[in-house]
Amino acid sequence: METRELEAEAGWRAKREVPRQFDRIARGYDLLAALNPGYAKHLRWSAERLRVDGSSQILDLCCGTGLSTLALRRVHPEARITGLDASAGMLRAAAAKPQLRDVRWIHGDAMDPAAAGASGPYDAILVAYGIRNVPDPDRCLQRLRQLLRPGGTLCVHEYSVSGSRWSRCVWQMVTLGVVIPLGTVVTGASTIFRYLRRSVLEFDSPPQLEARVRAAGFTDVRILPMDGWQRGIVHSILGRRADT
């Protein structure tokens, strides 16, 4: 097998292991997120950028422990929200949050939400820190487009540092100096945090991710920034399913 094929196969296996790794750190995840300046605020910004009506149906794909779901609930208090994640441990933590009692939770594969029971149609879909972890982002995006109503909005909230030496340098310093050591102390596990560092470095640049969303059939695609230390590192990539 060629070297490139071996690397691709290893990357595929690593992504398939991500849900089990998140199971191990589910109890400590919210604490780590709380220690991350801007984490909750930036999720709220992406929730606001969906710009949906009060009674809309929203899919929170890769919802984790429900921190992105909380952002959606606070911004869109009347919306009907479905949260889907492949990690049973993270979902249990999400379902335990009293503010999210009315959310429909689904344990399933983000690569095929409809097969797991998230068939829609939805007015909006938020994918926070998730598209980078699926084995085939292009196919996933195409399937998400099919789950949206005509005119519905997708927001991909994601790390994207490729193409910027400064952003990559900041990401390296923060993950090596803070995230991996602190995550290991809080959760007793280091593998997922080392994966996080590597996966972000290997993922799309912002223009590449924008092009990927556009190639999946979305229109009006645009990138909006965050602030603080995550400016140039975390982005909202927005796209719309055409009205026809």
Considering the domain delimited by 3-25+38-160+203-240, tell me its CATH architecture.
Answer: 3-Layer(aba) Sandwich (3.40)
Q: What is the mean pLDDT of the chain?
A: 93
Alpha-carbon distances, residue 30 vs 17, 58, 178 (angstroms): 21, 22, 16
What average pLDDT does this structure show over 130-151? 96
β-pairing, 148-159 vs 104-107, is unpaired
Q: How far apart are CA 191 and CA 235, in angstroms?
A: 25
Q: How far apart are CA 19 and CA 28, in angstroms?
A: 15
Query: Is 232 strand, coil or helix?
Result: coil
Q: Answer yes or no: are the C-beta atoms of 73 and 100 closer than 8 Å.
A: yes
Give the pLDDT confidence score for residue 3 in this predicted structure: 47
Where does residue 129 fall: left (phi above 0), alpha (psi -120 to 50 degrees), or beta otherwise?
left
pLDDT by residue (tens digit) across 49-72? 998 987 899 999 999 999 999 999
pLDDT by residue (tens digit) across 186-223? 999 999 999 999 999 999 999 999 999 999 999 999 99
Largest CA distance in the chain: 53
In the chain, where the domains are located: 3-25+38-160+203-240
Give the pLDDT confidence score for residue 7 in this predicted structure: 42
Token representation of residue 147: 């789950």
- CA torsion angle 111 114 116 117 (round to 10): 160
pLDDT by residue (tens digit) across 9-30? 445 566 778 999 999 999 999 9
Q: Does residue 180 surpass a pLDDT of 90?
A: yes
Q: Does residue 152 surpass a pLDDT of 60?
A: yes
116 Cβ partners below 8 Å, 6+ apart?
Answer: 84, 106, 107, 108, 109
What average pLDDT does this structure show over 130-137? 96
- Please name which of 141, 132, 151 lies closest in space to residue 233, comparing C-alpha atoms: 132
Give the pLDDT confidence score for residue 189 in this predicted structure: 92
Residue with tokens 């487009």: 145
Q: Does residue 78 surpass a pLDDT of 90?
A: yes
Q: Does residue 8 surpass a pLDDT of 50?
A: no
The alpha carbon dihedral of 220, 155, 229, 189 has a sign of negative
β-pairing, 148-159 vs 122-128, is parallel
